[in-house]
Amino acid sequence: MIGDLYADEELERLDRDALRALQLLRLKKTVEAALLTPFYSKRLKGVGITSAEDIRTLDDVRKIPYTTKDDLREAYPYGLLSVDRSEIVRMHASSGTTGTPTVIYHTQKDLDQWTNMTVRSLRATGCTKEDVFQNMMTYGLFTGGIGLHYGAERLGMLVIPASSGNTTRQFNMMKDFQTTTVHATPSYMLHLYSRMEEMGYSLKDFNLKRALIGAEPHSEEVRQKIEELFDIDAYNSYGLSEMNGPSVAFECTQKKGMHLWEDAYLVETIDRSSLEPVEEGEMGELVLTILIRTGTPILRYRTKDLAAIIPEPCSCGRTSRRITRIKGRTDDMLIINGVNVFPSQIEEVIMKMPGIGTNYLIKVRKEGTLDKLTIHTEVGAELFTDNAQDLHNLRRRIVEELSASITIKAAVELHEPGFLPVQQGKAIRVVDERGSVF
Ligand code: DLL
């Protein structure tokens, strides 16, 4: 494959024409692999694609129907394998909410390519072999732990495969091994900070320089809060198991959007109602095709994640276009008395409030015929002990700013640190008690 002729550093900086030529070659190869799977052979032949030669330009990708999570479930367990099962060396799975998991299989070559992407992503954030890397993402079927592990090793970092949870042990290791880089969900980073003092630690015990945060939606305000609390740089990392996992898109040290590694992924943004492409720069649903995996090829996957492609080149010199922070998932959008609200819009408002704590929860329920939105948020311990007037003022300010930003009058309840539940994996930020209202 032509991509194999380039060193990875060159792939990061290929000029756009060469990049597109490489994408086309890899797309053809992927379609060829897909035609070998029971699922896609039927699907592609149904639209007249019987060989890779039916893909002549990158625009021909539009001839291919979208793939959804339900399709992957339908193909469970082996309907998307394009190679003999003996060639497969690893699987990952995500269960979602409906039971049947979606399973992704990797050949050794697929894993090597994924590791390349991971090395590249880590390097983009300034990681080197001098770093001590504490990987606080769950190891297992979830891709967050193992996904970054091999890249970090290949880069030569000292890898601590800590996995998630056990906050005391995380702190002990951060201190004893002088960890410089952690990988965690943003909600776990906030949780860590909230426990630091009570565990007898302070920032000067650590040598932390950066956090790689991802796997769940979070606002710019949360990134800034993590950076300020720990006095570090925090980099956004996006990925999904259907597209391997972490290292689909990663921020570089410029921190102005995430480079979506285009030699490995073909990205489209579509209008989620018409399913037609939106303009570059406009917010749409990300549709991704993985170009570096043959074990389980997936074409035009509807991620349900909303973001925009940033067309302008990045000053770091990497040529893969960037995407904006994920605004939310199409299925996370709340409709409150007819108004569309993404949880991220609420998070932006509360996380920039001075004195606010590290955890919050959005609750929606019916009150008569109306929807009632209540924001529960923790605040710093000092606010509870100082004076009630400050608490009152803070509550009023949140209500006002929410009303200005999302045009909804929400109830706000302030709580002491540690009051709200903490999840070990991805944070649950919304509890919708309206049943099957929407
Ligand atoms: O969360 C892979 C991953 C692990 C990414 C570690 C980054 C770091 P899944 O469990 O399949 O895979 O969940 C994928 O999580 O479709 C998004 O909705 C959400 N997501 C992942 N990263 C981000 C992010 C991993 N940086 C789903 N910002 C995706 C917002 C994110 N949402």
Q: Over 182-206, what HEC string results?
A: EEECHHHHHHHHHHHCCCCCCHHHC
Q: How confident is the model at residue 326 (pLDDT cuts 50, 70, 90)?
A: very high
Distance 304 CA to ligand 1 centre (A): 11
| Ligand 1 and 245: CB distance under 6 A | yes
Q: At residue 1, does pLDDT exceed 70?
A: no
pLDDT in tens, 413-433: 999 999 999 988 899 999 999
CA distances from 367 to 238, 269, 341, 414 (A): 37, 37, 18, 21
Q: Residue 337, by phi and psi: left (phi above 0), alpha (psi -120 to 50) or beta?
A: left
- Whether residues 432 and 304 share a domain: the answer is no
Backbone angles phi, psi at 247, to 5 degrees: 90, 20
Query: Among 329, 348, 381, which residue terminates a domain?
Result: 329
- 3-state secondary structure at position 289: strand
Query: Among 273, 307, 329, which residue terminates a domain?
Result: 329
- Whether residues 359 and 301 share a domain: the answer is no
Range in 151-155, 206-210, 346-350, 367-371 with the lowest mean pLDDT: 367-371
| Ligand 1 and 343: CB distance under 6 A | no
Distance 246 CA to ligand 1 centre (A): 7
Query: What CATH number is given to the structural domain containing 306?
Result: 3.40.50.12780
- Whether residues 34 and 83 share a domain: the answer is yes
- Whether residues 124 and 63 share a domain: the answer is yes
pLDDT given at position 4 = 61
- Whether residues 273 and 288 share a domain: the answer is yes
Where do the DSSP E strands lie in 252-409?
Answer: 258-260, 265-270, 283-290, 301-310, 322-323, 328-329, 334-336, 339-341, 356-367, 370-379
Query: What CATH number is given to the structural domain containing 398?
Result: 3.30.300.30
Would you give the distance in Å from CA 237 to the centre of its chain?
6
- Whether residues 229 and 265 share a domain: the answer is yes
Choose which residue among 283, 305, 325 to substitute to test ligand 1 binding: the one with the highest number of ligand atoms within 8 A of its C-beta.
Answer: 305
pLDDT in tens, 256-273: 999 999 999 999 999 999
**Overall pTM surpassing 0.85 (yes/no):** yes
| Ligand 1 and 238: CB distance under 6 A | yes
Q: At residue 381, does pLDDT exceed 90?
A: no
Instruction: Give mean pLDDT, residues 287-305.
Output: 98
- Whether residues 313 and 355 share a domain: the answer is no
Give the domain extent around 325.
1-329
| Ligand 1 and 12: CB distance under 6 A | no
Distance 94 CA to ligand 1 centre (A): 11
| Ligand 1 and 94: CB distance under 6 A | yes
pLDDT in tens, 358-380: 999 999 999 988 999 999 999 98
Higher pLDDT, 295 or 388: 295
| Domains identified in the chain, total number | 2
Instruction: Give mean pLDDT, residues 232-243.
Output: 98
Query: Among 306, 329, 352, which residue terminates a domain?
Result: 329
